[in-house]
Structures are given as C-alpha cells and as structure tokens.
Amino acid sequence: MKNFIAPSILSANFAELGKEVNDVILAGADIIHFDVMDNHYVPNLTVGPLVCKSLINFGVKKPIDVHLMTTPVDDLITQFCDAGASMISFHPEATQHVDRSIELIKSKNCKAGIALNPASPLSLLDHILDKIDFILIMSVNPGYGGQKFIDNSLDKIKKCKEMIDNSGCNVEIEVDGGIGIKNIKTIHDAGANIFVAGSAIFNTENYEEAISKMKQEISA
Ligand code: DX5
Ligand code: ZN
C-alpha cells in the first residue's frame, strides 16, 4: 500500500495557518491532518469547518483529513464535507448510530474512517469493516499534541492489519500520536500506511528534513 505522511495542524502556528500548511505541503506532506476538538469529548478546543474552508480557499489542494474528537458528530460531518474535507474520521463512542454516521460521510463522497482510542477494542469494527475506507488507531489519548507513543499500540496495529487482510476488505490504517523519525518504521512494519505527525514536524526548524527522513525510514 502507498504510504502517506499527514502532518497534524495541532502543532502548527495557528496565527499563520495557511502558510504553515503550504510549507508542509512544499516539504512533502501528502495529507493535511485536521484535529477537531470540542472541549467536551476531549479536554481541549480547536477549530471548525470555517477554518477548513479557509484553507481550501487559500489554495490548499492536498486532501484534508478531518479527525473529529467531538460528540455528537453528524452535524459536523455535514459541515466539514460541505467545507471541502476529503476524509473524515470519528470515534464510535461519540455517536449514537455509527453505521448512520459512516453512511452520512460516504453520501457526501468523502472517505470514512473510524478512530479508536488506546483502550477501544478492535471489536468495535465488527459489522462495519466493509463500509469504511480507513481506521485511525490512536497511539495516544486524544486531546493534545506532543504526547508519548503508547507502545502496546503496535500490537493493536498488527491485529488490525490481520483482521483487514482476513476480511478481504480494502481498508487503510492510519496511526495518530507520538510518531517521529525514531519509531515510524516499526509502526509501518506493524501494518500502518498513513502516519500522522504533529510535533515531530511542526516543532522542528526544517519541515522538509523531518518529512524526508520519515519517508526514508519507511521505504528502507
Ligand atoms: C491528538 C491528535 C493528534 C496529535 C498528534 O488528539 O489527534 O493528531 O496532534 O500530535 P503528535 O504527533 O505531536 O503526537
Ligand atoms: Zn488526530
């Protein structure tokens, strides 16, 4: 499967968001990971559909990958699809009707993903694996950037990959939280192909160097 580096805007300088996003794209970003927090599902507050639309109006052409850490989700799904998002994931515990929320994303021609917290079991994917485009495995607890990768996530990624392969479904694995140059290869080898990285990119001086080193690691 093709690999994608997805910088998370959570660690960007929000006062210069358009420029920051253009800079990571020029530096080799494949996807822009857009973290949406509501100070309710998670103890932090970020940005909404207006900001997504502003980025698109600013000229951002790479896919915008909206990670909803909100409850409920359906209204925001509609608003983000209309704002031009390409991918949307949500946490299944945050909606009353998981299947309906997936269908809502797909009805808007967006890719649908299910986000699993560190303590959320893979069994939450039963009965929906054939309907989703990607699974977002959280390797930190959602809410903040810059946290440490939770090591047992590797085993979960491997099991998830096995589950997908056995099902014959075409589902990608995205991993989010604590990813950097040092651990990206193990995460790749465990079965992931979309890598979210916030602080490991935006907290460096040279985005191009950070992203190309990550790409080198996973292609080695
Ligand atoms: C956490 C967010 C992540 C976060 C990743 O709730 O979903 O996308 O920004 O940041 P790093 O890469 O710094 O762990
Ligand atoms: Zn995220």
Give the type of residue at 162. E
3-class secondary structure, 119? coil
Check pocket membership of 180 for ligand 1, CB cut-off 6 A.
Answer: no
Q: How far apart are CA 164 and CA 103, in angstroms?
A: 20
How far, in Å, from the CA of 123 to the mean position of ligand 2? 21
Give the ligand with the smallest distance to the CA of 89: 2
Residue 57: pLDDT above 90? yes
Closest C-alpha to ligand 1, atom 6: 142
From 23, 30, 38, 176, the catalytic residue: 176
Contacts of 164 (CB under 8 A, 6+ apart): 129, 135, 171, 173
Report the atom number in ligand 1 closest to the C-alpha of 201.
12
How far is it between the farthest Cα atoms of the chain?
46
Q: Read off the pTM.
A: 0.98
Pair of tokens at residue 26? 């020029």
**131-160 tens-digit pLDDT:** 999 999 999 999 999 999 999 999 999 999
DSSP three-state, residue 73: coil
Whole-angstrom Cα distance, residue 176 to residue 205? 22
CB of residue 35 inside a 6 A radius of ligand 1: yes
Neighbour tally for 201: CB within 10 Å: 30
Instruction: Give percent above pLDDT 90 in the chain.
Output: 100
Residues 67-122 pLDDT 10s:
999 999 999 999 999 999 999 999 999 999 999 999 999 999 999 999 999 999 99
Which atom of ligand 1 has the smallest separation from the CA of 178? 14
